[in-house]
Amino acid sequence: MKFPAFSYACPTSLAEAIELLNDDEDSRPLAGGQSLLPMMALRVAAPRMLVDLGNIEALRQSVVLPDSMRIGAMATHAMNAASFDIWMHFPLMAQALHHVAHQAVRNRGTFGGSIAHADAGAEMPLVVSALDGVLLLDGQSGQRTLPASEFFQGHYTTAIEPGEILTGVEIPFSDMDWAFEELSRRPGDLAIAMVAAGVSVEDGVCSQARLMLGGISDHPIRAVEAETYLIGRELTPNVIRAAAGMSAAGIHARSDTHASADFRLSLATTLMRRALTQLATGAI
Amino acid sequence: MSKSEIAQIRPKSIGTSIPRREDPGLLTGRARYIADIVLPDMLHIAILRSPVAHGRIRHIDVAAAQAMPGVELVWTGQDCVARCPGITSSLEQAGFAVTVQPLLAHDEICFVGEGIAVVVAHSRAQAEDALERIDVDIEELPVVTDALTAVDGADLANAAVASNMIYHSNRVTDPVDEAFASAALTVEGRFKTPRVNASPMETRGFVASHDWTSAALTCWSATQMPSFIKTMIAIFLQFPEQNLEVITPAVGGGFGQKAHLHPEELLVCMLSIELGRPVSWIEDRQENLFRAPQAKQQLNEMALAVDNDGRFLALRDRVTTDSGAYNSLPWTPLVEGHAGILVATDPYRISALSAESLSVATNKCPIGAYRGVGFSAPTLAREVLIDRAARKLGLSPFEIRRRNVIRQEDFPYQTRAGMMIREGSFLETVDRLEAMVGYEDFRKRQQEARKEGRLLGLGISIFSEISGIGTRALNFLDYPLTSHDTATVRVEPTGKVTVTTGIVTSGQGHPTTLAQIAADAFGIPVEDVTILAGSTHHAVGFGTVASRSAVFGAGTIGRAAEIVRGRMRAVAARLLQATSDEIEMAQGLVHVRDDPGRGMPFAAVAGAAYFAEATHPEDFDPALEATAAFDPSDIVLANGGHAVIVEIDLETCMARVEKMYAVEDCGRMINPMIVEGQIRGGMAQGVGMTLLEELIHDDRGQLTTSTFQDYLLPTSRDIPDIEISHLETPSSLVPGGIKGMGESAMISTPAAVAGAVNDALACFDVAIEQFPASPQRIFEALSEAAVLDGASLPN
Ligand SMILES: Cc1cc2nc3c(=O)[nH]c(=O)nc-3n(C[C@H](O)[C@H](O)[C@H](O)COP(=O)(O)OP(=O)(O)OC[C@H]3O[C@@H](n4cnc5c(N)ncnc54)[C@H](O)[C@@H]3O)c2cc1C
């Protein structure tokens, strides 16, 4: 478990980093290294060149805008977990961060790294998808943005082009209430199944709903049918049960060492019901 | 004098929780482990490991690897076999199939991870780079992964093992049919324990340095069995044993995994001899998961016949051990199912036992020892069945055990497998556990929780532990081996004591507990004792395995000290004008019995023996140094019990441990704090084995749980509070009344966790017999019982 040989650069500007990445097509950005370095030690990945993003100050910064917040790609999970702005504006994210790894890993692992890595069991891709985040990319041919729904394509697969860097995610403020539920084998493990549920309730009925499932399929999935069903309905136990059942219907679930597809679908229903129940009862 | 003679030791430091003297070094990172051994000119190796589970090497080309930067040497199996045919592992038992495990495969490959070639380079990284350049062409052969079907299957896992049967035994064949036919109740099940890896924090490692000028071979090994390793190097490599030293640095946990002769160890020796330079092998975590001895995979098909009053009539067990492709040395797969079945009835009066054991070869890593080896699986099966019987008869799990445990009036009690139980506190253990758990309250709480959709379960396990395993115990377990230790005790001129022992430590606190024993043997302060260990130049030891070091430490140090004490008494008798028999040693004094006023400091007597001939009696032998061996005259049996409460989330199928309890009776405790540390660690491992850990092989023999992301060790967040209570029934076979206890928690915690899971699900008539009880397995069991859809809880 020793790294294969590679060269290493630690630029201080984004432009420099992009240039370095494009100089060598076998190069990879290095963020917190919590996923990439183990893969290299196991020799599953062997990039010739690592471009460390750690010294690019701009990538670490997060800014609160009038209607949204831009979170820097290089903000660590620990920074985000301690961020008052995130706690205020995105309680969903604050909740989900409790489930990301352990303190030592959160101290190094980054928001952007997690999103770029796109593990199907990772929390941040689900959060960003649920909150309609817009992914900010920068590369040789300039900047571009992508909605989360187009960004996450599969387990370890995203729309990032070779040579591109994810600089951050802009997340609009949400006026919904949010709940998060997850099951993993041990506290801090990647999720077997997780859900993010957001609702607004007006005059006793649901006026807005956003239901997302993570870990079930190879990328975050939106339960559109269940969302539609909730609109105009009161969040009674029966309605919740029906919506939860609908949310998992028809999903092509993945199956691995820890959970079969059937089990994942059953978990999706359970976790969605629990999340909606939390929202209905205010028991967050 | 007999090697089982019991010296007199008067407990004083024994029984106190003094801090561990080795901790300052361990806790501040100053202790030196195998990876800290850095020698001038040292080379590093990396081993190419087989990607297929069964095959034949057609062709192997190492030229490109040889040409890589920093590479000194590349060897294949052909290079090795010319120098050493491999590790032959046999047992003198009729029908036992011998295997020879090559140090590197040269023809047949029998499991994923088996070594194929080795690169020696200036750094481990360079060696790994070179591995990628080795070109191997392997013809794949049919793979045998399931021990059950392997027995009748046409395919062989290892061409040397006919019918894949390493050993088949029907050692105890009491007629049980009648008991089962007439029993009011029969409970039975097919219990599968997982294949696991002990996963010590420090992986395996070995450094060898051959000095051609002196023809000496010095080795450093992260091992539990240095004396054994030394002799095996001498035998397998035909190396003169007097020129060999095996040094044991600080060892970061062993748990049995480091109690084997590993092929890599011989390989490193050969490479150092070949190159005339020190060679180091530090195993990485992935190698450890693939190749370090794996453990515990048994199927117990067990049945228990019970009468109307809940009394056990007969036990039938057929155990199949998934043994892997080669026999480990020295244990062989018999250490799992076969050893286990011989204690299957243990803490209970069961008058008929029918026990059949099969050790079956498969294309997996060889199975070996891991804490509680052999015993965890049958204990789990038996205790879960006992709970089941209790439920069917409407008895409490404590009551049914009370009715069956071996009691005071039964001692000495001979089990059907032939073990003599002389003493124990089985009944007290049941009572104590019941009080700790608060049984009635628990059942009420369980009822309440069910109303909220939470499933609580209580599991109990009562065990006995064959500790201090010496020759008698090994013979009982069908190992025709001899196992004794020696220690040398020397009283220095200033009255300080130096003990050299063959006992090595892998974190259990031996430097502290052995010093406590030696201090009490001489009646001096523990600070005055030094323990020298960790080199085969010291005393001889069988190894730190099988909960034996407390017993052998007390036995050897006690006997050697007695010899030295006799000489000191003779000097003191002269000085104090008394007879030798009247002289006692206590509180740093040597004095006339019942008259501490007529005495002198211990150091003064030592000084007199060294420096004042005038004080010597006639024909005095002034050597205040003696070496003695010890081997207990029979099996030293410890006992105790565990209780575990789990909570299962009915919908997510997740089981979590809420609380754990232990009752331990290891005779007189040397250091209660250390005893409790052993219990806590073992209980955590027990939770791992029953809820989390599993090495999963697919049907091609590929290990799918190949990193700690998928092989799930329990973390501190998975282990709840542990409450511990002690009973003390002294052993009559060991000085000070000491017994061993290192394995107890891992023998019986798995049973208690398994019982708790089953208790939680019993309200649905759902049973879990395959472990770990992962959410997936609980989901499947509940789905099959159509519980999940309804999701209404019975009261
Ligand atoms: C023990 C352990 C437990 C963990 N548990 C969890 C968990 O429960 N939940 C969870 O979500 N994660 C978990 N992780 C993963 C952790 O969150 C990682 O930090 C994260 O997935 C990757 O972030 P990183 O900053 O370490 O990225 P790196 O490992 O440095 O990079 C990951 C990948 O993303 C690419 N990359 C990184 N940054 C950028 C960028 N700005 N632009 C383009 N590409 C980029 C890299 O090239 C690489 O391919 C765990 C990790 C460990 C070691």
Structure tokens at B609: 């023996």
Interchain CB distance below 8 Å, B776 and A43: no
CA gap B275, B210 in Å, rounded: 9
Q: pLDDT class for B787, splitting at 50, 70, 90?
A: confident
CB A197 within 8 A of CB A275: yes
Q: What is the mean pLDDT of residues B546-562?
A: 96
Chain B's closest residue to A265, CA to CA, is: B652
Residues of B within 8 A of A2 (CB-CB) are: 123-125, 128
Q: Determine the distance separating the centroid of ligand 1 and the alpha carbon of A46, expressed in angstroms.
A: 16
Q: Is B718 on the interface with A (CB under 8 A)?
A: yes
Q: pLDDT class for B152, splitting at 50, 70, 90?
A: confident
Among B454, B776, B780, pick the best mutation site for testing chain A contact (most A Cβ within 10 A). B776
* Closest to A263 measured CA to CA, from B775, B792, B784, B710: B775
**H or E element: which one contains B686?**
helix B672-687
- Identify which of A42, A185, A267 has the shortest CB distance to residue B712: A185
Residue B753, pLDDT above cutoff 60: yes
Chain B's closest residue to A188, CA to CA, is: B717
pLDDT score, position A204: 94
> Is residue A248 in contact with ligand 1, taking CB distance under 6 Å?
no
Per residue in B354-394, pLDDT tens? 999 999 999 999 999 999 999 999 999 999 999 999 999 99
Among A257, A258, A270, A272, pick the best mutation site for testing chain B contact (most B Cβ within 10 A). A257
Q: Determine the distance separating the centroid of ligand 1 and the alpha carbon of B334, expressed in angstroms.
A: 45
Mean pLDDT, chain B, integer: 96
Per residue in B253-298, pLDDT tens? 999 999 999 999 999 999 999 999 999 999 999 999 999 999 999 9
Q: Is B453 on the interface with A (CB under 8 A)?
A: no
CA gap B389, B399 in Å, rounded: 11
Q: What percent of chain B has pLDDT over 70?
A: 99
**H or E element: which one contains B605?**
helix B602-611
Q: How far is B651 from chain A (nearest CA, A)?
A: 7
Q: What percent of chain A has pLDDT over 70?
A: 99
Interchain CB distance below 8 Å, A183 and B775: yes
* Closest to B295 measured CA to CA, from B366, B360, B359: B366
Q: How far apart are the first and last CA of chain B?
A: 66
Interchain CB distance below 8 Å, A186 and B712: yes
Residue B717, pLDDT above cutoff 80: yes
Beta bridge partners of A177: A199
Q: pLDDT class for B238, splitting at 50, 70, 90?
A: very high
Q: Determine the distance separating the centroid of ligand 1 and the alpha carbon of B47, expressed in angstroms.
A: 30
pLDDT score, position B362: 98
Interchain CB distance below 8 Å, B129 and A38: no
Per residue in A196-241, pLDDT tens? 999 999 999 999 999 999 999 999 999 999 999 999 999 999 999 9
**H or E element: which one contains B267?**
helix B263-275
Beta bridge partners of B665: B639, B727
A34 Cα nearest atom in ligand 1: 26
CA gap A224, A37 in Å, rounded: 37
* Closest to B323 measured CA to CA, from B141, B86, B163: B163
- Identify which of B124, B128, B705 has the shortest CB distance to residue A257: B705
pLDDT score, position A282: 81
CB B319 within 8 A of CB B377: yes
The 3 state secondary structure assigned to B626-649 is EEEEECCCCCEEEEEEEEEEEEEE
CA gap B655, B794 in Å, rounded: 19
Structure tokens at B65: 């690897």
Which stretches of B296-372 are DSSP H helices?
337-341
Of A117, A157, A194, best ligand 1 pocket probe by most atoms within 8 Å of the beta carbon: A117
CB A110 within 8 A of CB A32: yes
pLDDT score, position B453: 85
CA gap B153, B162 in Å, rounded: 11
CA atoms within 13 A on the CB side of B49: 23
Q: Determine the distance separating the centroid of ligand 1 and the alpha carbon of A69, expressed in angstroms.
A: 21
DSSP 8-state secondary structure symbol assigned to residue B600: E
Residues of B within 8 A of A258 (CB-CB) are: 710, 774-776
Contacting residues for A63 by C-beta, under 8 A, at least 6 apart = A69, A70
Q: Determine the distance separating the centroid of ligand 1 and the alpha carbon of A72, expressed in angstroms.
A: 14
* ipTM of the complex model: 0.96
CA gap B265, B118 in Å, rounded: 13
**Amino acid identity, position B247:** I
**H or E element: which one contains B141?**
none
> Is residue A29 in contact with ligand 1, taking CB distance under 6 Å?
yes
CB B297 within 8 A of CB B194: yes
CA dihedral for B582, B584, B589, B590, sign (positive or negative): positive
Of A36, A56, A140, best ligand 1 pocket probe by most atoms within 8 Å of the beta carbon: A36
Helices B376-393 and B744-761 cross at an angle (nearest 10°) of 40
Interchain CB distance below 8 Å, A3 and B709: no
Q: pLDDT class for B612, splitting at 50, 70, 90?
A: very high
- Identify which of A186, A267, A271 has the shortest CB distance to residue B718: A186
Interchain CB distance below 8 Å, A186 and B132: no
pLDDT score, position A184: 98
Interchain CB distance below 8 Å, A2 and B128: yes
Beta bridge partners of B664: B640, B726
* Closest to A247 measured CA to CA, from A204, A182, A196, A205: A196
**H or E element: which one contains A246?**
helix A237-248
Q: Is B776 on the interface with A (CB under 8 A)?
A: yes
Domains and CATH numbers, chain B: 23-31+484-630 (3.30.365.10), 34-141+203-251+258-291 (3.90.1170.50), 298-472+633-789 (3.30.365.10)
Domains and CATH numbers, chain A: 7-52 (3.30.43.10), 57-172 (3.30.465.10), 177-281 (3.30.390.50)
Per residue in A107-157, pLDDT tens? 999 999 999 999 999 999 999 999 999 999 999 999 999 999 999 999 999
Residue B341, pLDDT above cutoff 50: yes
Q: Determine the distance separating the centroid of ligand 1 and the alpha carbon of B159, expressed in angstroms.
A: 46
Edge-to-edge strand list for the sheet holding B244-247: B71-76, B115-121, B43-49, B279-282, B205-211, B216-221, B244-247
pLDDT score, position A283: 57
> Is residue A109 in contact with ligand 1, taking CB distance under 6 Å?
yes
Interchain CB distance below 8 Å, B692 and A185: yes
Q: How far is B280 from chain A (nearest CA, A)?
A: 15
Structure tokens at B90: 């046999």
CA gap B476, B486 in Å, rounded: 22
CB B65 within 8 A of CB B131: yes
Residue B188, pLDDT above cutoff 90: yes
Per residue in B656-672, pLDDT tens? 999 999 999 999 999 99
Which residue is closest in CA terms to ligand 1's atom 10?
A: A122
Helices A261-281 and B775-784 cross at an angle (nearest 10°) of 90
Q: How many residues does chain A have?
A: 284
Among A181, A270, A276, pick the best mutation site for testing chain B contact (most B Cβ within 10 A). A270
pLDDT score, position B786: 85
Per residue in B89-113, pLDDT tens? 999 999 999 999 999 999 999 999 9
Residue B795, pLDDT above cutoff 50: no
Q: Determine the distance separating the centroid of ligand 1 and the alpha carbon of A36, expressed in angstroms.
A: 7
CB B111 within 8 A of CB B154: no
Q: What separation in angstroms does the CA of B645 have from each of B447, B679, B748, B751, B755?
A: 14, 17, 14, 12, 9
CA gap B249, B260 in Å, rounded: 17
DSSP code string of B400-415: HHHTTB--GGG-SEE-
Decide: pTM greater than 0.90: yes
Looking up tokens 């992964």 gives: B145
Per residue in B574-602, pLDDT tens? 999 999 999 999 999 999 999 989 999 99
Chain A's closest residue to B713, CA to CA, is: A186
Residue B429, pLDDT above cutoff 70: yes
- Identify which of B124, B696, B714 has the shortest CB distance to residue A257: B696
CA gap A226, A236 in Å, rounded: 14
Percent helix, strand, coil in chain A, to 5, is 35, 25, 40
Per residue in A33-61, pLDDT tens? 999 999 999 999 999 999 999 999 999 99
CA atoms within 13 A on the CB side of B572: 27
Residue B415, pLDDT above cutoff 50: yes
pLDDT score, position A97: 98
> Is residue A163 in contact with ligand 1, taking CB distance under 6 Å?
no
